[in-house]
Amino acid sequence: MKVSGLTFAQLKKWVAVDLGMKPYRAQQLFSWIHLKRVISFHQMTDISLSARNRLDRAGEITALESCDTIAADDGTVKYSFALEDSEVIESVLIPDPPRLTACLSTQAGCRCGCTFCQTGRGGFRRNLRTDEIVAQLYGLQSSSTDRITNVVFMGMGEPMDNFPALRDALSIISDDRGICIGARKITVSTVGIPGGIEKLMQLDSQYGLAVSLHSAVESTRLKLVPVAKALPLRELKRDMKDYISRKGRRITLEYCLIAGINDSLEEASALAEFAGDIECKINLLIYNPVEGAPYRRPDIESVNRFMHYLYPRCQAVMLRRSRGSDIAAACGQLGPAVRND
């Protein structure tokens, strides 16, 4: 059993039902794994030796060690982690004092095939398990003396396409018996797949939601995000509005500006209209070139024109610094094909 991927409720059940141990052992185990972050049952000194031996035979704690690290000039660090089947995934640590944000992956590769994204261009290999998602966070935390304050699921993969593992990872990460990163400090990003936002909405906590929109014109969005065919803009907007009203939280629209594709005033106007009646902030990003993709960065004049069109018309618009672009750790750049080793 991959014990570090069990939520507290699952752990309690495993301890009591599968191992026949006293239920309080679950609390001890959870605290050792997720608060003190030990990686061996034998380090759990308040558990008897015979119980530790038993746990060791029945379970495993997943720890990921970075096999490659690249630091960018802005302090962003990209970590590559090799999984037990030799898949390599990437996670990013982004300092932005007082915040320190971990960007985690949920899949090795991605099925969505967004045409501007390195991960999407590399295809899908497999879903990550909960223990592998959580272990990325602990791998990143062990490399920094500062506490990670925020988590974003914006690394490799579409989080909603691996929902059960995401759901359990969210539960573990936000559990106050463990590393305890509050739900409001955790953001799940999605391109919008049918039923995805709805499933996140069913969870009790108020996780942040970011939607990678990239265009409010259906035909442009389809070019960039082929899976958008399954969830047209009208339905995506309905899901977003439901999320906002259910959770009482504003959401984020991510919009990656690409020269000649979605940076025109017509596109800005469509975006303003789409976002006009949604409680949201718009994060504009400037496209980071990806090997083999037929896209270019827009020039600064187009970016300014686009922004200035939006400013008076939308509630909140930010031009986000693209962190780590010189090490291929920025939005849409993660993936083996761009490793700089």
Residues that bind ligand SF4 (CB under 6 A): 110, 112-114, 117, 119-120, 156-158, 191, 212, 332
For residue 145, the minimal CB distance to ligand SF4 (Å) is 30
Q: Which is nearer to ligand SF4, 93 or 114 (CB)?
A: 114
Q: How far apart are CA 212 and CA 224, in angstroms?
A: 11
Active-site hit among 112, 114, 314, 331 = 331
How distant, in Å, are the alpha carbons of 22, 23, 35, 41 from that of 11?
12, 9, 15, 14
Q: 331 an active-site residue?
A: yes
Q: How far apart are CA 8 and CA 26, in angstroms?
A: 7
Closest chain position to ligand SF4 (CB): 120
Phi/psi at 95 (nearest 5 deg)? Answer: -80, 135
For residue 216, the minimal CB distance to ligand SF4 (Å) is 17
Active-site hit among 87, 90, 114, 254 = 90
Instruction: Give the three-class secondary structure for 209.
Output: strand
For residue 68, the minimal CB distance to ligand SF4 (Å) is 19
Q: Which is nearer to ligand SF4, 4 or 118 (CB)?
A: 118
For residue 117, the minimal CB distance to ligand SF4 (Å) is 3
Q: Which is nearer to ligand SF4, 117 or 275 (CB)?
A: 117
Q: 267 an active-site residue?
A: no
Q: Which is nearer to ligand SF4, 157 or 208 (CB)?
A: 157
Q: Is residue 200 a contact partner of residue 242, using CB atoms and an 8 Å limit?
A: no
Instruction: Kindly write down the DSSP assignment for every residue of 225-277, as one continuous string.
Output: -GGGGGS-HHHHHHHHHHHHHHHT--EEEEEEE-TTTT-SHHHHHHHHHHHTT
> Which amino acids are annotated catalytic?
90, 331
